[in-house]
A = this chain, B = another copy of it.
Protein backbone atom coordinates (compact mmCIF):
# COMPACT_ATOMS: atom_id res chain seq x y z
CA UNK A 1 0.00 0.00 0.00
CA UNK A 2 1.20 3.48 -0.78
CA UNK A 3 0.21 5.90 1.93
CA UNK A 4 -1.33 9.12 0.77
CA UNK A 5 1.34 11.74 1.17
CA UNK A 6 -0.38 15.00 1.86
CA UNK A 7 2.96 16.76 1.80
CA UNK A 8 3.20 15.79 -1.82
CA UNK A 9 2.36 19.08 -3.37
CA UNK A 10 4.20 21.89 -1.68
CA UNK A 11 6.80 22.89 0.85
CA UNK A 12 10.58 22.83 1.21
CA UNK A 13 10.45 19.11 2.03
CA UNK A 14 10.22 18.46 -1.70
CA UNK A 15 13.43 20.39 -2.25
CA UNK A 16 15.02 18.29 0.46
CA UNK A 17 13.69 15.12 -1.16
CA UNK A 18 15.06 16.16 -4.53
CA UNK A 19 18.43 17.10 -3.10
CA UNK A 20 18.63 13.81 -1.20
CA UNK A 21 17.78 11.82 -4.34
CA UNK A 22 20.22 13.66 -6.55
CA UNK A 23 22.96 13.20 -3.98
CA UNK A 24 22.29 9.49 -3.48
CA UNK A 25 25.79 8.19 -4.37
CA UNK A 26 27.44 10.93 -2.30
CA UNK A 27 25.11 10.25 0.63
CA UNK A 28 25.68 6.50 0.54
CA UNK A 29 29.41 7.06 0.38
CA UNK A 30 29.16 9.46 3.33
CA UNK A 31 27.44 6.74 5.36
CA UNK A 32 30.07 4.19 4.30
CA UNK A 33 32.81 6.49 5.57
CA UNK A 34 30.93 7.15 8.83
CA UNK A 35 30.56 3.41 9.39
CA UNK A 36 34.26 2.90 8.79
CA UNK A 37 34.90 5.06 11.86
CA UNK A 38 31.88 4.21 14.00
CA UNK A 39 30.11 0.98 14.88
CA UNK A 40 26.43 0.94 13.89
CA UNK A 41 23.91 0.05 16.59
CA UNK A 42 23.04 -3.64 16.27
CA UNK A 43 19.46 -2.63 15.52
CA UNK A 44 17.39 0.51 15.95
CA UNK A 45 14.17 2.26 15.02
CA UNK A 46 13.75 5.97 14.52
CA UNK A 47 10.50 7.93 14.84
CA UNK A 48 10.39 10.76 12.32
CA UNK A 49 8.21 13.83 12.06
CA UNK A 50 7.58 15.31 8.64
CA UNK A 51 6.20 18.82 8.98
CA UNK A 52 6.30 19.52 5.27
CA UNK A 53 8.89 22.22 5.86
CA UNK A 54 11.08 20.10 8.10
CA UNK A 55 11.87 16.41 8.63
CA UNK A 56 13.40 15.35 11.92
CA UNK A 57 13.91 12.31 14.13
CA UNK A 58 12.24 12.69 17.50
CA UNK A 59 13.10 9.34 19.07
CA UNK A 60 15.83 6.77 18.40
CA UNK A 61 15.05 3.41 19.93
CA UNK A 62 18.00 1.07 20.49
CA UNK A 63 15.81 -1.86 21.57
CA UNK A 64 13.27 -1.72 18.76
CA UNK A 65 10.02 -3.59 19.09
CA UNK A 66 7.38 -3.71 16.38
CA UNK A 67 9.24 -5.88 13.88
CA UNK A 68 5.87 -7.61 13.50
CA UNK A 69 4.57 -4.40 11.89
CA UNK A 70 7.00 -4.59 8.99
CA UNK A 71 5.66 -6.19 5.84
CA UNK A 72 6.53 -9.82 5.26
CA UNK A 73 7.93 -8.74 1.90
CA UNK A 74 10.68 -6.87 3.63
CA UNK A 75 11.79 -9.53 6.08
CA UNK A 76 14.45 -10.94 3.74
CA UNK A 77 16.19 -7.57 4.07
CA UNK A 78 16.33 -8.04 7.83
CA UNK A 79 17.67 -11.56 7.39
CA UNK A 80 20.36 -10.39 5.01
CA UNK A 81 21.32 -7.50 7.31
CA UNK A 82 21.42 -9.88 10.28
CA UNK A 83 23.70 -12.20 8.29
CA UNK A 84 26.06 -9.33 7.49
CA UNK A 85 26.06 -8.29 11.11
CA UNK A 86 26.68 -11.76 12.54
CA UNK A 87 29.46 -12.27 10.03
CA UNK A 88 31.25 -9.26 11.47
CA UNK A 89 30.55 -9.84 15.15
CA UNK A 90 30.98 -13.58 15.53
CA UNK A 91 31.02 -15.62 12.29
CA UNK A 92 31.47 -18.91 14.11
CA UNK A 93 28.34 -18.22 16.21
CA UNK A 94 25.91 -21.10 16.68
CA UNK A 95 23.57 -19.92 19.40
CA UNK A 96 21.79 -16.66 20.10
CA UNK A 97 20.08 -15.94 23.40
CA UNK A 98 17.28 -13.42 22.94
CA UNK A 99 16.10 -11.62 26.10
CA UNK A 100 12.72 -9.98 25.56
CA UNK A 101 10.89 -7.53 27.79
CA UNK A 102 9.78 -9.16 31.00
CA UNK A 103 6.22 -8.01 30.46
CA UNK A 104 5.89 -10.28 27.42
CA UNK A 105 2.16 -11.01 27.75
CA UNK A 106 1.07 -8.46 25.12
CA UNK A 107 0.25 -10.37 21.96
CA UNK A 108 1.69 -7.66 19.68
CA UNK A 109 4.96 -7.77 21.55
CA UNK A 110 4.98 -11.58 21.42
CA UNK A 111 4.56 -11.36 17.70
CA UNK A 112 7.55 -8.98 17.56
CA UNK A 113 9.65 -11.51 19.49
CA UNK A 114 8.53 -14.30 17.15
CA UNK A 115 9.55 -12.18 14.16
CA UNK A 116 12.99 -11.50 15.63
CA UNK A 117 13.42 -15.19 16.37
CA UNK A 118 12.53 -16.02 12.79
CA UNK A 119 14.94 -13.44 11.37
CA UNK A 120 17.90 -14.70 13.39
CA UNK A 121 17.06 -18.36 12.83
CA UNK A 122 17.10 -17.82 9.12
CA UNK A 123 20.29 -15.82 9.40
CA UNK A 124 21.82 -19.02 10.72
CA UNK A 125 21.55 -19.15 14.50
CA UNK A 126 19.82 -21.39 16.99
CA UNK A 127 17.65 -18.89 18.83
CA UNK A 128 16.19 -19.44 22.29
CA UNK A 129 14.46 -17.03 24.63
CA UNK A 130 15.64 -16.26 28.15
CA UNK A 131 13.57 -14.31 30.64
CA UNK A 132 14.60 -11.71 33.19
CA UNK A 133 11.30 -12.35 34.94
CA UNK A 134 12.11 -14.19 38.22
CA UNK A 135 8.73 -15.93 38.09
CA UNK A 136 9.88 -17.90 35.05
CA UNK A 137 11.53 -20.82 36.78
CA UNK A 138 10.97 -23.44 34.12
CA UNK A 139 10.38 -23.48 30.34
CA UNK A 140 7.08 -21.72 29.76
CA UNK A 141 5.10 -21.88 26.52
CA UNK A 142 3.37 -18.78 25.23
CA UNK A 143 0.80 -19.02 22.47
CA UNK A 144 0.95 -16.71 19.48
CA UNK A 145 -2.07 -15.40 17.62
CA UNK A 146 -1.04 -17.44 14.53
CA UNK A 147 -1.17 -20.70 16.47
CA UNK A 148 2.56 -21.05 16.97
CA UNK A 149 4.25 -21.16 20.34
CA UNK A 150 7.23 -19.43 21.92
CA UNK A 151 9.10 -20.98 24.82
CA UNK A 152 10.49 -18.68 27.49
CA UNK A 153 13.23 -20.21 29.64
CA UNK A 154 14.87 -19.19 32.90
CA UNK A 155 18.35 -17.69 32.57
CA UNK A 156 21.32 -19.65 33.88
CA UNK A 157 24.34 -17.62 34.95
CA UNK A 158 27.52 -19.61 35.08
CA UNK A 159 30.51 -17.54 36.23
CA UNK A 160 31.32 -15.26 33.28
CA UNK A 161 28.66 -16.63 30.94
CA UNK A 162 24.93 -16.32 30.57
CA UNK A 163 22.81 -19.02 29.00
CA UNK A 164 19.95 -21.41 29.42
CA UNK A 165 19.96 -25.02 30.50
CA UNK A 166 22.06 -26.87 27.86
CA UNK A 167 22.40 -23.70 25.79
CA UNK A 168 25.60 -21.69 25.72
CA UNK A 169 25.24 -18.71 23.40
CA UNK A 170 28.04 -16.72 21.79
CA UNK A 171 25.79 -13.64 21.66
CA UNK A 172 23.10 -12.31 23.97
CA UNK A 173 20.63 -10.01 22.24
CA UNK A 174 18.57 -7.68 24.40
CA UNK A 175 15.11 -6.65 23.27
CA UNK A 176 14.57 -5.12 26.67
CA UNK A 177 15.42 -1.45 27.16
CA UNK A 178 16.42 -1.91 30.82
CA UNK A 179 14.08 0.86 31.95
CA UNK A 180 13.73 -1.11 35.17
CA UNK A 181 17.49 -1.05 35.79
CA UNK A 182 20.37 -3.36 34.88
CA UNK A 183 19.80 -6.82 36.37
CA UNK A 184 22.91 -8.26 38.00
CA UNK A 185 22.65 -11.35 35.81
CA UNK A 186 23.62 -9.16 32.83
CA UNK A 187 26.66 -7.58 34.43
CA UNK A 188 30.27 -8.47 33.65
CA UNK A 189 29.54 -10.76 30.70
CA UNK A 190 33.00 -10.30 29.29
CA UNK A 191 33.13 -13.66 27.53
CA UNK A 192 30.05 -13.09 25.40
CA UNK A 193 28.77 -10.43 23.06
CA UNK A 194 26.00 -8.51 24.82
CA UNK A 195 24.06 -6.50 22.25
CA UNK A 196 23.18 -3.69 22.50
CA UNK A 197 25.62 -2.86 25.34
CA UNK A 198 24.24 -2.14 28.81
CA UNK A 199 24.88 1.59 28.52
CA UNK A 200 22.37 1.70 25.64
CA UNK A 201 19.63 0.93 28.19
CA UNK A 202 17.54 3.67 29.74
CA UNK A 203 19.25 3.24 33.10
CA UNK A 204 22.23 5.02 31.62
CA UNK A 205 21.05 6.55 28.38
CA UNK A 206 20.05 10.24 28.14
CA UNK A 207 18.06 11.84 25.32
CA UNK A 208 20.09 15.05 25.73
CA UNK A 209 23.24 13.10 24.88
CA UNK A 210 21.58 11.59 21.83
CA UNK A 211 20.32 14.88 20.44
CA UNK A 212 23.67 16.54 21.07
CA UNK A 213 25.26 13.80 18.96
CA UNK A 214 22.45 14.10 16.41
CA UNK A 215 23.08 17.83 16.04
CA UNK A 216 26.73 17.13 15.26
CA UNK A 217 25.73 14.50 12.68
CA UNK A 218 23.03 16.74 11.17
CA UNK A 219 25.53 19.58 10.78
CA UNK A 220 28.07 17.35 9.03
CA UNK A 221 25.43 15.89 6.75
CA UNK A 222 23.88 19.27 5.95
CA UNK A 223 27.29 20.58 4.99
CA UNK A 224 27.59 17.72 2.51
CA UNK A 225 24.26 18.68 0.96
CA UNK A 226 24.81 22.43 1.30
CA UNK A 227 21.69 23.10 3.34
CA UNK A 228 20.53 24.48 6.67
CA UNK A 229 20.76 21.75 9.29
CA UNK A 230 17.65 23.12 11.01
CA UNK A 231 15.64 21.47 8.23
CA UNK A 232 16.48 18.07 9.69
CA UNK A 233 17.40 18.93 13.28
CA UNK A 234 14.94 19.65 16.13
CA UNK A 235 16.36 22.28 18.50
CA UNK A 236 16.96 20.54 21.80
CA UNK A 237 18.26 21.73 25.17
CA UNK A 238 18.73 19.87 28.43
CA UNK A 239 17.56 21.27 31.76
CA UNK A 240 18.49 19.83 35.10
CA UNK A 241 17.89 20.86 38.68
CA UNK A 242 16.70 19.82 42.10
CA UNK A 243 12.99 20.01 41.14
CA UNK A 244 11.92 21.38 37.78
CA UNK A 245 8.24 21.51 38.71
CA UNK A 246 8.45 24.53 41.00
CA UNK A 247 10.50 27.50 42.17
CA UNK A 248 13.92 28.11 40.67
CA UNK A 249 13.79 24.81 38.81
CA UNK A 250 10.57 25.69 37.07
CA UNK A 251 11.93 29.16 36.20
CA UNK A 252 15.02 27.61 34.63
CA UNK A 253 12.77 25.30 32.63
CA UNK A 254 10.58 28.19 31.52
CA UNK A 255 13.63 30.18 30.42
CA UNK A 256 14.69 27.28 28.18
CA UNK A 257 11.17 26.88 26.82
CA UNK A 258 11.13 30.60 25.94
CA UNK A 259 14.52 30.30 24.33
CA UNK A 260 13.58 27.32 22.14
CA UNK A 261 10.27 28.95 21.21
CA UNK A 262 11.89 32.19 20.16
CA UNK A 263 14.62 30.44 18.17
CA UNK A 264 11.93 28.39 16.43
CA UNK A 265 9.90 31.53 15.76
CA UNK A 266 12.89 33.14 14.06
CA UNK A 267 13.33 30.07 11.88
CA UNK A 268 9.65 30.01 10.98
CA UNK A 269 9.91 33.66 9.98
CA UNK A 270 13.01 32.95 7.88
CA UNK A 271 11.17 30.24 5.97
CA UNK A 272 7.80 32.02 5.89
CA UNK A 273 6.08 29.31 7.93
CA UNK A 274 2.64 30.35 9.16
CA UNK A 275 2.44 28.02 12.16
CA UNK A 276 2.64 28.67 15.86
CA UNK A 277 5.78 27.13 17.36
CA UNK A 278 5.52 24.72 20.24
CA UNK A 279 7.94 22.71 22.33
CA UNK A 280 7.82 19.20 23.72
CA UNK A 281 9.17 18.61 27.21
CA UNK A 282 10.44 15.05 27.69
CA UNK A 283 12.11 13.17 30.53
CA UNK A 284 15.81 12.92 29.71
CA UNK A 285 15.64 9.14 30.19
CA UNK A 286 12.79 6.84 29.30
CA UNK A 287 10.95 5.55 26.34
CA UNK A 288 7.56 4.98 24.70
CA UNK A 289 6.66 8.66 24.77
CA UNK A 290 5.90 8.54 28.48
CA UNK A 291 5.59 11.85 30.34
CA UNK A 292 5.60 14.16 27.31
CA UNK A 293 4.23 17.68 27.72
CA UNK A 294 3.50 20.04 24.81
CA UNK A 295 3.38 23.81 25.34
CA UNK A 296 3.17 26.89 23.12
CA UNK A 297 4.02 29.33 25.89
CA UNK A 298 6.33 28.99 28.92
CA UNK A 299 3.56 30.39 31.14
CA UNK A 300 1.44 27.30 30.49
CA UNK A 301 3.89 25.33 32.59
CA UNK A 302 3.03 26.97 35.89
CA UNK A 303 1.30 24.37 38.03
CA UNK A 304 1.33 21.81 35.24
CA UNK A 305 4.56 19.97 35.91
CA UNK A 306 3.88 18.50 39.32
CA UNK A 307 2.14 15.16 39.29
CA UNK A 308 2.93 14.50 35.63
CA UNK A 309 6.38 13.09 36.28
CA UNK A 310 8.04 11.06 38.95
CA UNK A 311 10.48 12.95 41.19
CA UNK A 312 13.52 11.49 39.44
CA UNK A 313 12.29 12.60 36.01
CA UNK A 314 11.67 16.12 37.36
CA UNK A 315 15.40 16.61 37.88
CA UNK A 316 16.41 16.04 34.24
CA UNK A 317 14.31 17.06 31.28
CA UNK A 318 14.85 18.05 27.69
CA UNK A 319 13.04 20.87 25.92
CA UNK A 320 12.69 20.10 22.24
CA UNK A 321 11.32 22.10 19.36
CA UNK A 322 7.98 20.51 18.47
CA UNK A 323 7.73 19.18 14.93
CA UNK A 324 4.18 18.75 13.70
CA UNK A 325 3.42 15.84 11.45
CA UNK A 326 1.64 16.69 8.25
CA UNK A 327 1.40 13.16 7.01
CA UNK A 328 -1.90 11.41 7.08
CA UNK A 329 -3.09 7.92 6.27
CA UNK A 330 -6.83 7.81 5.61
CA UNK A 331 -7.27 11.17 7.37
CA UNK A 332 -5.61 9.98 10.57
CA UNK A 333 -2.43 11.69 11.72
CA UNK A 334 0.61 9.58 10.89
CA UNK A 335 4.34 9.57 11.53
CA UNK A 336 6.92 7.38 9.82
CA UNK A 337 9.00 4.91 11.84
CA UNK A 338 12.08 3.44 10.16
CA UNK A 339 13.78 0.20 11.21
CA UNK A 340 17.44 -0.49 10.83
CA UNK A 341 19.62 -3.48 11.43
CA UNK A 342 23.32 -2.79 11.46
CA UNK A 343 23.81 -0.08 8.83
CA UNK A 344 20.86 -1.12 6.71
CA UNK A 345 17.32 0.18 6.48
CA UNK A 346 15.23 -2.97 6.69
CA UNK A 347 11.69 -1.61 6.82
CA UNK A 348 9.30 0.88 8.24
CA UNK A 349 5.71 1.81 8.80
CA UNK A 350 3.45 4.72 9.51
CA UNK A 351 2.33 4.97 13.10
CA UNK A 352 -1.22 6.20 12.76
CA UNK A 353 -3.47 7.61 15.45
CA UNK A 354 -7.00 8.69 14.60
CA UNK A 355 -7.59 10.47 17.90
CA UNK A 356 -4.49 12.60 18.03
CA UNK A 357 -3.56 15.98 16.61
CA UNK A 358 -0.68 16.93 14.30
CA UNK A 359 1.34 18.22 17.26
CA UNK A 360 0.70 15.29 19.57
CA UNK A 361 2.62 12.19 20.47
CA UNK A 362 1.27 9.25 18.46
CA UNK A 363 3.08 6.56 20.43
CA UNK A 364 0.07 5.99 22.68
CA UNK A 365 -2.67 3.43 23.15
CA UNK A 366 -4.90 3.36 20.10
CA UNK A 367 -2.09 3.72 17.57
CA UNK A 368 -2.11 1.46 14.55
CA UNK A 369 0.54 0.64 12.00
CA UNK A 370 0.62 0.83 8.22
CA UNK A 371 3.65 -0.62 6.43
CA UNK A 372 5.63 2.03 4.61
CA UNK A 373 5.69 2.67 0.91
CA UNK A 374 8.68 0.41 0.64
CA UNK A 375 6.25 -2.47 0.33
CA UNK A 376 5.02 -1.47 -3.09
CA UNK A 377 6.09 -3.13 -6.28
CA UNK A 378 8.79 -0.80 -7.46
CA UNK A 379 10.36 0.20 -4.23
CA UNK A 380 13.73 1.51 -5.24
CA UNK A 381 13.90 5.27 -5.49
CA UNK A 382 13.76 6.64 -8.97
CA UNK A 383 15.35 9.83 -10.10
CA UNK A 384 13.15 11.89 -12.32
CA UNK A 385 9.87 11.37 -10.49
CA UNK A 386 8.14 14.56 -9.44
CA UNK A 387 9.23 15.31 -5.87
CA UNK A 388 6.65 14.22 -3.34
CA UNK A 389 4.80 12.05 -5.82
CA UNK A 390 6.77 8.85 -5.33
CA UNK A 391 6.39 6.66 -2.26
CA UNK A 392 9.78 4.98 -2.73
CA UNK A 393 11.54 8.32 -3.12
CA UNK A 394 9.88 9.65 0.02
CA UNK A 395 10.83 6.48 1.84
CA UNK A 396 14.42 6.74 0.66
CA UNK A 397 14.58 10.20 2.23
CA UNK A 398 13.09 8.84 5.45
CA UNK A 399 15.70 6.09 5.44
CA UNK A 400 18.48 8.66 5.06
CA UNK A 401 17.28 10.84 7.96
CA UNK A 402 16.63 7.77 10.11
CA UNK A 403 20.17 6.57 9.42
CA UNK A 404 21.45 9.94 10.65
CA UNK A 405 19.69 9.07 13.92
CA UNK A 406 21.47 5.74 13.89
CA UNK A 407 24.86 7.41 13.29
CA UNK A 408 24.07 9.78 16.18
CA UNK A 409 23.30 6.79 18.42
CA UNK A 410 26.68 5.37 17.49
CA UNK A 411 28.45 8.64 18.46
CA UNK A 412 26.38 8.73 21.64
CA UNK A 413 27.31 5.18 22.66
CA UNK A 414 30.99 5.91 22.08
CA UNK A 415 30.85 8.93 24.36
CA UNK A 416 28.92 7.16 27.09
CA UNK A 417 30.80 3.85 26.96
CA UNK A 418 32.02 3.17 30.51
CA UNK A 419 34.62 0.70 29.22
CA UNK A 420 36.11 3.36 26.95
CA UNK A 421 36.87 5.58 29.95
CA UNK A 422 39.15 2.95 31.36
CA UNK A 423 41.52 3.49 28.45
CA UNK A 424 41.03 7.25 28.23
CB 8 Å contact bits of A364-396 with B (1 = contact, 0 = none): 000000000010011111000000000000000
Shortest beta-carbon distance, A145 to chain B, in Å? 15
Residues of B within 8 A of A374 (CB): 76
> A83–B340 Cα gap in the complex (Å)?
14
> A31–B380 Cα gap in the complex (Å)?
29
Residues of B within 8 A of A81 (CB): 80
Given the known A-B contacts A32-B91, A33-B92, A92-B32, are A25 and B125 also in contact in the complex, defined by CB atoms under 8 Å? yes
Residues of B within 8 A of A76 (CB): 74, 77, 374, 379-380
Given the known A-B contacts A72-B378, A379-B73, are A124 and B31 also in contact in the complex, defined by CB atoms under 8 Å? yes
Q: Are A72 and B379 in contact (CB under 8 A)?
A: yes
Residues of B within 8 A of A75 (CB): 379-380
Shortest beta-carbon distance, A165 to chain B, in Å? 19
| A380 contact from B83, B84, B122, Cβ within 8 A | B122
| Most chain B Cβ neighbours within 10 Å, of A31, A35, A87 | A87
CB 8 Å contact bits of A85-98 with B (1 = contact, 0 = none): 01100011110000
Residues of B within 8 A of A33 (CB): 91-92
Residues of B within 8 A of A118 (CB): 380
Q: How many copies does the complex hold?
A: 2
Q: Are A94 and B124 in contact (CB under 8 A)?
A: no
| A25 contact from B24, B25, B79, B121, Cβ within 8 A | B121
Residues of B within 8 A of A378 (CB): 72
| A80 contact from B36, B80, B93, Cβ within 8 A | B80
> A247–B405 Cα gap in the complex (Å)?
73
Q: Are A344 and B80 in contact (CB under 8 A)?
A: yes
Q: Are B377 and A36 in contact (CB under 8 A)?
A: no
Q: Are B87 and A35 in contact (CB under 8 A)?
A: yes
Q: Are B80 and A122 in contact (CB under 8 A)?
A: no
> A374–B73 Cα gap in the complex (Å)?
9
Q: Are B25 and A91 in contact (CB under 8 A)?
A: no
> A136–B374 Cα gap in the complex (Å)?
39
Q: Is A126 an interface residue (CB 8 A)?
A: yes
Given the known A-B contacts A94-B29, A379-B73, are A24 and B84 also in contact in the complex, defined by CB atoms under 8 Å? no
Shortest beta-carbon distance, A262 to chain B, in Å? 40
Name the residue of chain B whose CB is nearest to the CB of A30: B124
Given the known A-B contacts A25-B125, A28-B124, are A91 and B36 also in contact in the complex, defined by CB atoms under 8 Å? yes
Q: Are B29 and A93 in contact (CB under 8 A)?
A: yes
> A10–B62 Cα gap in the complex (Å)?
47
Q: Are A83 and B28 in contact (CB under 8 A)?
A: yes
Name the residue of chain B whose CB is nearest to the CB of A96: B25
Name the residue of chain B whose CB is nearest to the CB of A344: B80
Shortest beta-carbon distance, A9 to chain B, in Å? 25
Residues of B within 8 A of A35 (CB): 87, 91
**In chain A, residues 51-87, which have Cβ atoms closer than 8 Å to a Cβ of chain B?**
72-77, 79-81, 83-84, 86-87
Residues of B within 8 A of A344 (CB): 80, 83
**In chain A, residues 326-383, which have Cβ atoms closer than 8 Å to a Cβ of chain B?**
343-344, 374, 377-381
Q: Is A27 an interface residue (CB 8 A)?
A: yes
Residues of B within 8 A of A409 (CB): none
Q: Are B32 and A121 in contact (CB under 8 A)?
A: no
**7 extra A-B contacts, CB within 8 A, seeds A33-B92, A74-B76:** A24-B122, A28-B83, A28-B125, A32-B91, A32-B92, A35-B91, A122-B381
7 cross-chain pairs, A with B, having the tightest CB-CB distances, nearest first: A28-B124, A72-B378, A32-B91, A84-B84, A25-B126, A29-B124, A25-B124
Interface CB pairs A-B, < 8 A, 15: A24-B122, A24-B124, A25-B121, A25-B124, A25-B126, A27-B124, A28-B123, A29-B94, A29-B125, A33-B92, A35-B91, A72-B378, A75-B380, A79-B380, A83-B344
